């Protein structure tokens, strides 16, 4: 109630009060859940760290960054529809039906786009991941 009172000066009298009130309360709840989710993820990551060493291993951090860069570059090479389907379904773990609704296509089309995206990504990432750490160590003709 205090939150509503603090924002009462932002209410437009031409808009129904109940709709405005509901919007303010929903936004407050969403903000609360978002903050709680961020905090929970941070706490979960801390729990995964070894107790004797609170800082992540620099080598692992660099490897993770490098892997993210390789995957980001590979995703950028996908056609837009395949990339959207892949990110929503495989990276964000949304249901196929939800992806279909979001993309305004049929679920069968989502599955087809996923098959194409996965095939392209195997072709793009296969050689990059097979090289592994050797390519970053600098074993060239220098």
Q: What is the pLDDT of residue 118?
A: 94
CATH topology of domain 79-131: Arc Repressor Mutant, subunit A (1.10.10)
**How far apart, in whole angstroms, are the C-alpha atoms of residue 133 and residue 78?**
24
What is the helix (H) or strand (E) element at residue 14, kind and residue range?
none
- Domain residue spans of the chain: 79-131
10 Å CB burial of residue 96 (0-12, 13-18, 19+) is middle
Q: What is the pLDDT of residue 78?
A: 94
Q: What is the pLDDT of residue 68?
A: 83
Query: What is the distance between the terminal CA atoms of the chain, rounded to a whole angstrom?
Result: 69
Tell me phi and psi for residue 56, to 5 degrees: -70, 155
**How far apart, in whole angstroms, are the C-alpha atoms of residue 116 and residue 110?**
10
Q: What's the pTM? A: 0.51
Q: What is the pLDDT of residue 138?
A: 41
List per-residue pLDDT tens for the chain, 142 residues long.
777 777 888 888 888 877 778 778 888 888 888 888 788 877 777 776 655 555 667 777 777 788 788 888 999 999 999 999 998 999 889 999 998 988 889 999 999 999 999 999 999 988 766 765 544 444 444 3
């Amino acid at each position: 109630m205090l939150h509503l009172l603090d924002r009462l000066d932002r209410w437009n009298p031409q808009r129904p009060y109940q709709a405005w009130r509901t919007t303010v309360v929903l936004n407050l709840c969403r903000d609360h859940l978002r903050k709680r989710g961020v905090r929970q993820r941070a706490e979960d990551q801390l729990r995964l760290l070894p107790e004797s060493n609170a800082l992540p291993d620099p080598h692992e951090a660099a490897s993770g960054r490098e892997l993210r860069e390789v995957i980001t570059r590979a995703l950028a090479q996908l056609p837009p529809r395949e990339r959207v389907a892949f990110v929503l379904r495989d990276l964000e773990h949304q249901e196929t039906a939800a992806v279909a609704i979001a993309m305004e296509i049929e679920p069968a089309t989502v599955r087809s786009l996923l098959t194409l995206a996965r095939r392209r990504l195997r072709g793009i990432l296969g050689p990059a991941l097979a090289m592994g750490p050797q390519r970053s160590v600098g074993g060239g003709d220098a």
